[in-house]
């Protein structure tokens, strides 16, 4: 019988009712993850602190975090203008050193909030964010391990639970899953050569396992079941000490330790970089179907997946510049 994953709800008791309504809608109706909704909450709470500071409190910018928003009424929300939002974005850029990507996230949170109150519950006549463009953000190519570095990492998983840790890293490098997805896998999510994954927004997808992953999972499960049966603890990856589902933090520590053993420590690699690595290796090995790669990675939009095509473009450019004839100059007669 399938095991249902626990849903974690965050306490938003220090926010006004209109904010709680919006956040609960994102959790219960849209099915967004608690972590995503928590990000909305943090962004919107700061925005309304700023609005209250600007309209009522008249306190110094340094004291904004001490402002309470529990008493803000929806009437104040109705007074928010496009200028207020632009000034807020300017505030977080100058006073909080927010990067373009951080400001974009805040603007996305505000867009979602005002869209909800204009189109879903019709309590606002217009969305003050509607015509504000996202802050310009220079796209960076994701950092990833080379094939040789990936093999070196897999060769350095001699830990206190080597079968588990080798299996986790093997799945990261082959399936491109997020760390939260890996931690959430149950034993009965694996059937033959398929694995069921619950991704962002509780969206379910199926990942096909290659022979290397099947061997790693099979070898690990034999050792795992000696510790505790799946009937008592359904999680695939467990802590040897607690015999319960392994935590995200523990996985991060294990990967960091293996990276250091492989001589790859201190180079900016992480569990999320292993996801980038999987996508890059899949693309470079011939998996050029963007829709297929999108499904494997669990991306909502194919445009997110297309960044991995740029990696090869950059490498082609680098290769072209590295030609031995690149510096050739014809001698003048």
Q: Report, as residue numbers or ranges, the catalytic residues.
A: 178, 200, 272, 275, 299, 308
State in Å, rounded, how far the first CA of the chain is from the last one.
83
Please report where in the chains the tokens 């974690």 appear, as a residue. Answer: 8
Indicate the DSSP class of residue 140: P
CA angle at 126 for the pair 123 and 128, rounded to the nearest 5°: 115
Contact 150, 173 (CB under 8 A): yes
* Token pair in block for residue 264: 């790859």
Contact 37, 23 (CB under 8 A): yes
Burial zone of 43 (CB within 10 Å; 0-12 exposed, 13-18 middle, 19+ buried): buried
Show the beta-strand stretches assigned E in 68-139. Answer: none
């Amino acid at each position: 019988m399938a095991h249902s994953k626990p849903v974690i709800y965050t306490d938003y008791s220090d926010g006004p009712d209109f904010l709680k309504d919006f956040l609960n809608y994102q959790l219960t109706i849209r099915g967004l993850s608690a972590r995503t909704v928590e990000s909305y909450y943090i962004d919107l709470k700061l925005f309304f602190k700023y609005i209250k500071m600007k309209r009522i409190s008249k306190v110094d910018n340094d004291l904004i975090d001490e402002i309470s928003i529990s008493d803000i009424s929806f009437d104040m929300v109705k007074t928010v203008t496009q200028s207020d939002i632009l000034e807020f974005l300017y505030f977080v850029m100058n006073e909080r050193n927010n990067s373009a990507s951080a400001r974009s996230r805040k603007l996305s949170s505000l867009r979602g909030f005002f869209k909800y109150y204009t189109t879903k519950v019709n309590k606002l006549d217009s969305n003050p964010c509607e015509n504000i463009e996202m802050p310009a953000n220079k796209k960076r190519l994701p950092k990833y391990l080379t094939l040789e570095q990936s093999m070196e990492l897999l060769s350095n998983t001699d830990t206190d639970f080597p079968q588990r840790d080798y299996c986790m890293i093997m799945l990261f490098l082959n399936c491109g899953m997020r760390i939260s997805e890996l931690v959430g896998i149950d034993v009965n999510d694996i059937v033959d050569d398929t694995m069921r994954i619950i991704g962002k927004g509780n969206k379910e997808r199926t990942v096909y396992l290659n022979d290397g992953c099947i061997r790693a999972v099979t070898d690990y499960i034999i050792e795992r079941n000696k510790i505790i049966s799946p009937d008592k603890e359904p999680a695939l990856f467990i802590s040897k000490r607690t015999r319960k589902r392994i935590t995200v933090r523990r996985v991060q520590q294990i990967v960091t330790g293996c990276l250091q053993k492989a001589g790859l420590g201190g180079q900016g690699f992480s569990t999320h970089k292993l996801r980038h690595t999987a996508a890059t290796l899949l693309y470079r090995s011939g998996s050029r179907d963007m829709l297929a790669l999108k499904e494997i990675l669990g991306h909502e939009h194919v445009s997110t997946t297309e960044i991995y095509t740029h990696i090869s473009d950059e490498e082609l450019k680098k290769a072209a510049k590295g030609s031995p004839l690149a510096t050739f100059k014809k001698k003048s007669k």
